[in-house]
Amino acid sequence: MSSVKFQEELREKIISDPDVILEDQDLMRALVAANERSLGDNIVDLRGIAMERLETRLDRLEDTHRSVIAAAYENLAGTNQVHRAILRMLDPTDFESFLKELGGEVAQILRVDSVRLVLESTENGDDPLVKRLGAVLTVADPGFVDGYLSQGRNVPVRPVTLRQIHPNNDHIYGEAAGYIRSEAALKLDLGQNRLPGLLLLGAEDPHMFKADQGTDLLGFFGGVFERIMRRWLS
């Protein structure tokens, strides 16, 4: 095909369907650049400048749009995880099975590497149940929960604490302490005249739980967990 015939066919195609060019950003940029070159160095193309600014704003809007959609999907996935974990916690018919599910299926649903329940007690922790379920359940002295959450600082203790950590002993996480790098710590109100408890979700990923993340879902999860625990302890 000769170049003249090709040019004629291309010209007819563009005239019959100009949207082909208008919808192609690369073609439009090339045409605008060619137009600017034809104007010379002493001419300021205000329309071209305005178009570049509009393109920049459009790119920012598209990036924001993608970020909002990604966040929405992430929140939906997180909500589904929490709901599935709660339903799983409601299945057991005895406390021992409940704790086993907590360290097993519930941990898998939440995609964490360790789940630990810490209960403050004035007893010495020699209960056979505590020994059998040592992979999930830990008994601590009164005042431990607030001290663990505040790390010895004079700061308010929040219901949900997200942070990156490096456990310096195996008192809480046991054998998992060597690889836990972030945690969600949920303080538990176990009812009137009862000492507080603590639910710890530990992750090997140091970015799984960070202080700048939202806590609404975990706060809801902690509230449900408190009510389940009150039922078992009543």
| Tally of domains within the chain | 1
pLDDT score at 70: 63
Mean pLDDT of 177-192: 91
Looking at the domain assignment, is residue 218 inside a domain? yes
- What gap in Å lies between CA 112 and CA 125, rounded to an integer? 26
The residue segments making up the domain with residue 154 are: 92-233
What phi and psi, each to the nearest 5 degrees, are found at residue 104? -110, -95
- What gap in Å lies between CA 103 and CA 84, rounded to an integer? 15
Q: Could you tell me which residues are beta bridge partners of residue 140?
A: 120
For residue range 159-175, list pLDDT tens digits in order.
Answer: 999 999 988 778 888 88
Looking at the domain assignment, is residue 228 inside a domain? yes
Looking at the domain assignment, is residue 23 inside a domain? no
The mean predicted confidence, pLDDT, of the chain is: 81
Q: Which of 216, 155, 161 is nearest to 183 (CA)?
A: 161
Looking at the domain assignment, is residue 48 inside a domain? no
Whole-model pTM?
A: 0.69
